[in-house]
Amino acid sequence: MTDLIIPDSPRELGAPHDTWRPAQKEIYRQTRELSLNGGGILIAEAPTGIGKSGVVTALGHHDPITACVHTLPLVTQYEREYGFNAIRGRQEYPCNYDEKLEFWQDEWKEVPTVADCSFSSMLDCPVVQTCSYHIAKMHALTARRTVMTYRYMALSTAMRKRTGILVFDEAHDSAEELIRFNKLEYLHKTIAHHELPEFPIKEFGPDNKGALLGDAYTTIIKWLETCSKLLDTSELDHSRRAATRRRMKANIDHYIGDVLNEDDWFLQVDNNGFSIMALLADRIANKIFFHKHTKLLMSATIGNPAPLAHMLGIDDYKFSTFEHPVPAQYRPVFDLKFPRMSKRVLHENPKFYEIQSKGIQKWIQQFPPNWRGVILTSSYYKIKKIMEFMPENERRFIVQGQGQRVNDITTKFITDVRPGDIMVGTIQGMGSGLNLKGDLARWLVIASVANINPTDEYMKVRRHKFGGRTYEDWITYNAIVQAAGRISRGTRDENGEYITNYVALADGKATVNRAMAMYSDWFKEAIV
C-alpha cells in the first residue's frame, strides 16, 4: 500500500475551494489509493451537496480525468466552474471551410456545422488545422481534465483510448444512457430517400414485438455491408444530402465493425422503421473502461450497487456510501400506508383512486397553502384520476398532459413561480440535474411506483438475459429516491437552520421488502 498525503486545501489540487467536506476528502482518498495501487473500480454513493465535481477536479491533479455527464448544461458547468476541457457533438461546432460556407450560403443561407463535414476523414480537409471541432477534439484528447456527455463517449472510439481515471457522474443512469446511445435505428422512409435497398426483414419476434437478433444476424450484416458500399463516395460534394449519407455510412460501419454480434442485440421492426439495441451495457462499458486504470462511478442514489454493477459487467469493485449532509429529521419521508396502487389492485378496487387522491389532499393540507409541491405518479391515466378528485381552489395546478414529457412542465414549474403551485406529473424521466431547492418545492408525493411495462418484449428478453428482475426493481425504486433527492437540497433559513422538506409515499408498493432492499441508506433512515 502506497502512503498518501492529501493537502489541507483542495485548491492546491486545482479545485475551486479551500476546504474539504468530509465525504469529498474520503472519496478523493479512496480513488487515489485505488489509482496508486494498480487501479480498480469505486462505486461511491455521495448524496447531493457533498461536492462531487470538486473531487473530480482534484483527482485531475495527478491523473488525466475523463468525466461523463448527462447533459450539455452539465458539460458547460464542468467547463466554466471547474476548468475542464469540454468536447461536444459535431453539430455544436461551425464548419469554417470557405468553399463549403459559400456553397451553403448560396443554397440555403445557412452556416453548416461540423456534422455536415464534406470529408469522410476530416484530415482530408485542407483547413482541418483550423476546424473548430478538430481543435476541440485534439485538446480534449490530450487535456488533463476532459468532460463530455455519455452520448459522446458511447460513440467516440478516440475518447475510449484516453488513459487515467474515468468518472461516471450520476452513475445510476449510466447503463441506460450507454444502451440508449448505442442503438442503430432508421426510418424506412430515410432508407428509401437515400435509394438504399429495403430493410430485409418485415416482421420479427412474437406478435412482431421484436426478439434477439439470433439467426437474423447474417442477413442484417449483409444488408448493412451493401448499404455501406452504396453510401461510399470519394467525390467532394458539399451538399446536405451528401453529408447525411456520410454520417449514415460512418454509423453503419461503426456497427458492422465494432458492435454487432448475435447474442446481445434486440431487433424490432414495424411499419415506420427498425431499431437494433443492446440488451446489457456490459460490452460498451468494457470498451470504455478498458484503457482507464481507475473508474469512479458516483451518484446520490445507488442503494444496492449489485444490479448496476452486473448491468455494466463489473465483477470486482469497492462500494462506499456517505452520509447525507442534511440530517434525516429535515427531510422526513412519510409512509401514508396506502394500498398498492398497481393495475390489478386498482382494477378490482377503482374506489382506491378517490381514496388516494383525498388522502394526498389531507396530507398536503397540513402545510401552509403558499408552499409549493410536487405529486408524481406513473401514467397519464393516473394523473387524470388524481386530478378528478382534487378540489378546485385558488391554487394553481401545473399538470402534465397526454403526450407531454415531465421536463416540459418542470420548466414551467421552476421558471413561472407562484406561491402554492402544485405540479402533477410522471415519475418517469423526472430530470437529472433538476434542483428544486429552497421554496421551489417544500413537499413531494410519490403516488405510484412506476413498474416496467410487463408486455414490453425488449424488457422481457433483457430480464431473461440479465438473470431475473433485480435490475428492473433497482431502476424502479431508484427513481423514487432520485425524486425525493430533488427537493432536499440542504437549503438553510435566515437563521442558518436547515429548512425541512417533506416526502410522502402514497403507494403501498413503495415500502415492500423488494423496495427496501434497493433504497439508499440516507433515504431509509428518513422514513418515519
The verdict on 411 binding ligand SF4 (CB under 6 A) reads no
Q: Which three cell numbers stand for residue 371?
A: 408552499
* Stretch in the footprint of ligand SF4 (CB under 6 A) among 93-101, 302-310, 391-399, 513-521: 93-101
The CB-of-523 to ligand SF4 minimum distance in angstroms stands at 47
* Shortest distance (Å) from residue 18 CB to ligand SF4: 42
Q: Which residues contact 487 (CB under 8 A, 6 or more apart)?
A: 374, 436, 440, 441, 442, 443, 444, 501, 503
CB of 106 to ligand SF4, least distance (A): 16
Say how many C-beta atoms besides its own lie within 10 A of residue 323's C-beta: 15
| Phi/psi of residue 321, nearest 5 degrees | -125, 145
d(CA 182, CA 178) in angstroms, rounded, equals: 6
DSSP code, position 259: I
Q: List C-alpha distances in Å: 372 to 338, 365, 397.
A: 23, 12, 10
* Window of 68-76, 126-134, 264-272, 454-462 that interacts with ligand SF4 by CB under 6 A: 126-134
Would you say 462 and 456 are in contact if contact means Cβ atoms under 8 Å apart?
Answer: no
The one among 96, 226, 244, 320 contacting ligand SF4 by CB under 6 A: 96
Contact with ligand SF4 (CB under 6 A) among 46, 87, 95, 436: 95
Q: Which stretch binds ligand SF4 (CB under 6 A): 121-129, 161-169, 475-483, 518-526?
A: 121-129
Comparing CB distances to ligand SF4, the nearer of 101 and 230 is 101
Length in residues, the chain: 528
Q: Measured from the CB atom, is 131 or 314 closer to ligand SF4? A: 131
The reply on whether position 100 binds ligand SF4 by CB under 6 A is yes
Q: From start to end of 88-137, where are the E strands?
A: none
Binding segment (CB under 6 A) for ligand SF4, from list 33-41, 116-124, 162-170, 434-442: 116-124
Contact 299, 171 (CB under 8 A): yes
Q: Is 429 exposed, middle or buried (0-12, 13-18, 19+ CB in 10 A)?
A: middle
Based on the shown chain and the rule CB under 6 A, indicate whether residue 243 belongs to the binding site for ligand SF4.
no
Selected range binding ligand SF4 among 4-12, 124-132, 185-193, 310-318, rule: CB under 6 A: 124-132
Which residues are CB-contacts of 60 (< 8 A; sequence separation ≥ 6)? 13, 14, 144, 145, 165
Cβ nearer to ligand SF4, comparing 135 with 355: 135
Q: Which of 103, 119, 317, 498 binds ligand SF4 (CB under 6 A)?
A: 119
User: Are 44 and 30 a contacting pair, CB within 8 Å?
Assistant: yes
- Enumerate binding residues for ligand SF4 (CB under 6 A): 95-97, 100, 114, 117-119, 122, 125, 127-128, 131, 134
